[in-house]
Structure 1
Amino acid sequence: MKEKKSKIDVQGFEIAVVNQSNSDYISLTDIAKQKNAESTGLVIAHWLSTKFTIEFMGLWEQMHNKNFNVTEFRNIKNEAGSNGFILSSKQWIDKTNAIGLTSSAGRYGGTFAHKDIAFEFASWISAEFKLYLIKEFQRLKEEENSRLSLEWNLNRTLSKLNYRIHTDAIKEHIIPKNITKDQANFVYASEADVLNVALFGKTAKQWREENKSSEGNIRDYATIEQLLVLANIESMNAEFIRMEIPQKERLLKLNQIAILQLKSITANDLFTKLKE
């Protein structure tokens, strides 16, 4: 699974956070810079070599890692506290098959730990630093959850909208017919009716006569995609007017544009895939 990387600022120190398999890992290397920016690996090794840390790490692994090598853990635990005992993150991972830590070399590498372990390490560095780390980490998670919630609601709304467009597309009345010569020759008193005829094939008055029992007007009963195209041809008509194109020519152009745009919308397979 691809890692999702983020950065948080804790008392002036930039701390990397990555999400792996739905678990958050925080850079111990970045945290260690608060204590010694030149020897972060040594700082981590000193912390990892304490008996308390080893016991904590072993307990965490046994709770979360079914493949944890308990035998090697006990061997390491027995050695802890002896003269010259130093345990690096790589040794811990290799010997015990641990998953709470990850370690990689290189410019963009370093040691990362599951957030539970990272907070313990930060506490060893500084109680104050740990509190600020937790605060900034929580802020990051709240922002991510807010974005996810917004994206989910937006995607859900778009899915419903697009599904409506698709279902409406199968109705024969959506795609306007080519206007007749008589319609093209008719001089409409209102520019709004030019748009109505181009898109719906009839004037507002004609629609009212055909729908005497309906309230509102022709546009109140338009489908979503019709309203989208209406907005497009309305702006185009304004531009055509500025270009001093005669009304008859504008009507013909707008009618053809409306037909092409609605065909394009209703033929788009994307709308059928978003029903959920």
Structure 2
Amino acid sequence: MSKVKKDTIEAKGFAIPIYTEDFKNDYISLTDIARYKNVHEPKDVVKNWLRVRDTIEFLGLWETIHNPNFKGVEFDSFRKEAGTNAFTLSPQRWTENTNAIGIVSKSGRGGGTFADPDIAMELASWISAEFKLYLIQDYKRLKLDENSKLSLGWNLNREISKINYKIHTDAIKEYLLKDLTNEQLFYKYASKADMLDVDLSNKRVK
């Protein structure tokens, strides 16, 4: 089972949950982005956004680029209807009918509708250009923080490796090479191949 990592970004005083299951693909809460426009009925905001023809075309293009299993025939049906007075579309219906991966719906506590950052920013732009810019700014801040932590972890692992290497070489010198001649000690770190050829029983290189 994938380990879910959750975080939060902020824009104009609104906290927007974000999560990832593979540490590569982030999903940002559309529901909480929509609260900026309508605190009480954010789901209606998302549904209204999905009714717009430009939105459907954007989602279809995104899925075509990123999703080899996207159902283009079903997408064409939605695109033809989009923008008409009778057209309505929920995130769940979009995902189920087209096999989309850019938008996901999660139930239970902390649930809601989430989407890839490209799609989330498109909703934010539709709601407010100013809100979108603040959202992008804090998302960049989050990514910089994550990269800094990864860099710190890499440097720490490198230092640990250096310490372990010294421990291992010191142990070899003390317990395995203590009876070698000075000439043999001179070549003790020449190469792994030479080390494997050392016959420790008679202390000479074959």
User: Could you state the TM-score of these two structures normalised by the residue count of structure 1?
Assistant: 0.61
Task: Name the residue aligned to 1:19.
Answer: 20
Task: Name the residue aligned to 1:115.
Answer: 117
User: In 1, Cα distance between the equivalents of 2:121 and 2:140?
Assistant: 12
Q: Which runs of 5+ in 1 are unaligned?
A: 174-276
**SS of equivalent to 1:2:** coil
Residue 84, structure 1, aligned to residue 86, structure 2: yes
* CA displacement 1:7-60 (0-9 Å, x = unmatched): 112111111111233111111111111111211111101001110000000000
Letter in 1 for 2:68: K
Letter in 2 for 1:53: T
Task: Name the residue aligned to 1:124.
Answer: 126
User: In 1, Cα distance between the equivalents of 2:50 and 2:82?
Assistant: 10
Task: Name the residue aligned to 1:66.
Answer: 68
Report how far residue 170 of structure 1 moved.
3.1
Letter in 1 for 2:18: V
Give the stretch that moved more between structures: 17-26 or 65-74: 17-26
Task: Name the residue aligned to 1:9.
Answer: 10
Give the stretch that moved more between structures: 90-99 or 80-89: 80-89
* CA displacement 1:111-146 (0-9 Å, x = unmatched): 111000111100011000000000000011001101
Quick one: higher RCO (CA 8 Å, sep 6+), 1 or 2?
2
RMSD: 1.5
User: In 2, Cα distance between the equivalents of 1:64 and 1:169?
Assistant: 52
Aligned residues: 174
Aligned counterpart in structure 2 of residue 45 of structure 1, from 25, 44, 47: 47
User: Could you state the TM-score of these two structures normalised by the residue count of structure 2?
Assistant: 0.81
Task: Name the residue aligned to 1:106.
Answer: 108
User: In 1, Cα distance between the equivalents of 2:84 and 2:45?
Assistant: 18
Report how far residue 169 of structure 1 moved.
2.1
Structure whose residues are more often strand by fraction:
2
Q: Which runs of 5+ in 2 are unaligned?
A: 176-206
User: In 2, Cα distance between the equivalents of 1:67 and 1:2?
Assistant: 24
**SS of equivalent to 1:170:** helix
Task: Name the residue aligned to 1:150.
Answer: 152
Task: Name the residue aligned to 1:204.
Answer: none
User: In 1, Cα distance between the equivalents of 2:141 and 2:159?
Assistant: 27
User: In 2, Cα distance between the equivalents of 1:39 and 1:167?
Assistant: 66
Letter in 1 for 2:144: E
Task: Name the residue aligned to 1:165.
Answer: 167
Task: Name the residue aligned to 2:186.
Answer: none
Task: Name the residue aligned to 2:36.
Answer: 34
Report how far residue 94 of structure 1 moved.
0.2
